[in-house]
Structure 1
Amino acid sequence: MRELKSITKDDLNQEVTFIALLIDVKIKATKTGGKYADLTVQDASSKQLVKLWDVAEEDWLQRAKDEIPVIEVKALVGEYQGKLQLTSRSIRKVDKDSIDMKKLVPSSKWNFDQMQQWLEEFRDRIQTPLIKTLVHEMVFQEPYYEKFCIYPAAKSVHHNFRHGILQHTLEVLKYCVVVATTKRLSQRQVDRLIAMAFLHDWAKIIEYEPLPSNKISDEGKMLGHIFIGSHHVMNKIELLEGFDREDALVILNGILGHHGALEWGSPVLPKSVEAQILHQADKLSGDVESILSFMQEQEESRETFTDRLWNMGTDYYKGGIS
């Protein structure tokens, strides 16, 4: 069986067989009135579009979007407008119990044990006891810790892979500490900033369902991770007797304002230097990951630049991709 990433233009006009997750289905009509499907399939190495011809009206594919089934695909490798195109006339479902799902779910390339160690080291930088307790109880205790370490950080734009929240949080923590050190923030400010970085996307363990589903939960759709997170943090702070009111206000504003603008989903703007650093660090982590993953998706293209990346509004030079 082939990994999706291993299928290249060297395979043109050959049939390949692979096992993948079926993550999206779009049924379309041909000019003659028949039906075909654009299937988005994914394994741990890559994501690919497959055109499936001769889709029957009652085909199980019409219900597959909600199931995220595992499928075996036999496809012919072709090329269309300079890009690979896989076409198939038949696919079959595969029993999930017979498959190692880790081979089908994208995962962070960072070492998991190292990430856990870094997370503990950042927690231990906090010197204000109750701020450290807040972070420890929200992140490092169950039922939260396992989800925090495994869940994706987004549905599609950035860090949408296993350990995504963990990697994104670490990136944000690293950026925040660099800026705080460079600008010589006080220890109290550093403690607040580290807490914000830990907790700004914490509620995505509630907003999203675990991979391979990665669907938005009912609570996520109704409330969103910014409200859910600030609500849980506020409740936890109220249980920590003696928690400083100013610390609470600054940390909560950072969580509520981390998207940086009302039109980007934050209900308030960042009102402290710590909150502004958090917003910029969060944006930098998301934007860079989005660009790099998009470049890697298009590394087989002969073009010097990528296609236009919708969330960044431009294309990107591909020189130096490794």
Structure 2
Amino acid sequence: MAETRKSVEDVKNLPVGEKFSSVGVVLDIHEKKDKNGKSYWTVSLMDKTGSMDAKIWGNAQWWDFREGVKSEIKDPASSTLVGNLKGSSIGVTGQVSEFRGKNQYNFNQVFLVDQEKEEYRPESFVQTSPVDVKELERRFDLLVDRCSGDVRSFLEELFSKGGDLWKKFRVMPAAVSHHHAYVHGLLEHSITVTELALSMAEAIEGQARPDRSLVVAGGLLHDLGKLEAYVLNPGPGMTVEGTVIDHIALGYSRFEALAERYKLDRTVRTALGHILLSHHGLREYGSPVLPATPEALVVSAADELDFKLFCWGDSVSQLEGGVEPEDSVSDLNYSAQRRFWKWRPDGERS
């Protein structure tokens, strides 16, 4: 398999009918039943280039390859090895097919591999931010430096580089699948949202006079609840609390406890708490309150913009770009509920 092994990104560039072999970590796997009652599996596989969803049909072959010798698993549906694959690395061979006009990836063989062997260690397949983490840390520090007074002191204490909160905030994903679903994703997303929000705040300075310290603090803290909503195991996953309570409520609860501990000014505390609770913009998107201050409005708008720009980039990454629909218009992005247009090929500038 190693000689012809393809990355997830390589596989996504293959035409229909092409065969491939690959190795990655299992983000998620679910056994299902077809109309004849036969088991098949849906699986999400990640490597450092991205993730893909695939099907493992009932006629696929499963192999125990942990000792370096293929031993067939004849009844995968009853195998404890197969039932505990989430978070493990596997090898696969498969083929690209087409379903309802979209590429579908079918794994025809699945190889259970030695998790301790260097080439198969699960953590080595987990995707990380495309931005170097040292650059992200530099941008984060510059944003904190834009603050003043109690807000700056609060952020400096909260995100102390030796503290547990910073260590977790630095590595966590921002999602499981929708956007920035990789190591350092939360840090990257929070910084981008804050930089966008700060630019908007500066643009409306003469109209609304937003407090820049609050904008920065709100942008950096808006997804604080994702520290409890998500896990890395070793790829992104969701906790029970994240599923049934959601990151907005979790974030507000944690923020209130931290604000109390650091004796944050009551008005500042309320204004920042409002940003955390309103940053999704609409009640139907999960926010219990609507943005009601200039600072909350720009953070909410920046959060939505960063999310949609990420969806655009992810949707058009395999397209050449141009005026022909087949080259430039994406499939429906279900997260953003739209198709995206890549009207200009990569490298072309006006």
Residue number among 106, 109, 114 corresponding to 1:95 in the alignment:
114
Q: Secondary structure at the match of 1:315?
A: coil
Counting only pairs closer than 5 Å after superposition, residues 132-151 of structure 1 correspond to structure 2 as 132-141=152-161, 142-151=163-172
What pairs up with 1:1-322 in 2 under 5 angstroms? 1-7=5-11, 15-29=19-33, 34-48=38-52, 49-54=54-59, 56=75, 57-60=77-80, 63-64=83-84, 67-78=86-97, 83-98=102-117, 99-101=120-122, 103-128=124-149, 130-141=150-161, 142-184=163-205, 189-241=211-263, 243-296=264-317, 302=326, 304-320=328-344, 322=346
1:132 partner amino acid: R
Q: CA RMSD in A?
A: 2.9
Contact 1:4 1:43 in 2 (8 A): yes
Give the C-alpha shift of residue 78 in structure 1: 4.9
TM-score scaled by structure 2? 0.80
- Identity of aligned pairs, percent? 22
Whole-angstrom CA distance in 2 between matches of 1:122 and 1:229: 20
Is contact 2:87–2:122 with CA below 8 Å preserved after alignment? no
Counterpart of 1:156 in 2: which secondary structure? coil
Q: Unpaired segments of 5 or more residues in structure 1?
A: none
Quote the Cα distance in structure 2 between the aligned partners of 1:269 and 1:245.
20
CA distance in 2, matches of 1:22, 1:281: 32
> Which shifted more, 157-166 or 73-82?
73-82
Report the CA distance between 1:148 and its aligned residue: 0.9
Return 245-254 or 6-15, whichever deviates more.
6-15
1:71–1:62 distance in 2 versus 1, CA, 3 Å: closer
**Distance of 1:2 and 1:306 partners within structure 2:** 23
Displacement, 1:304?
3.7
| Contact map agreement 2:123 2:234 (CA 8 A) in 1 | no
Corresponding residue number in structure 1 for 2:69: none
Q: Secondary structure at the match of 1:96?
A: coil
- How many equivalent pairs are there? 319
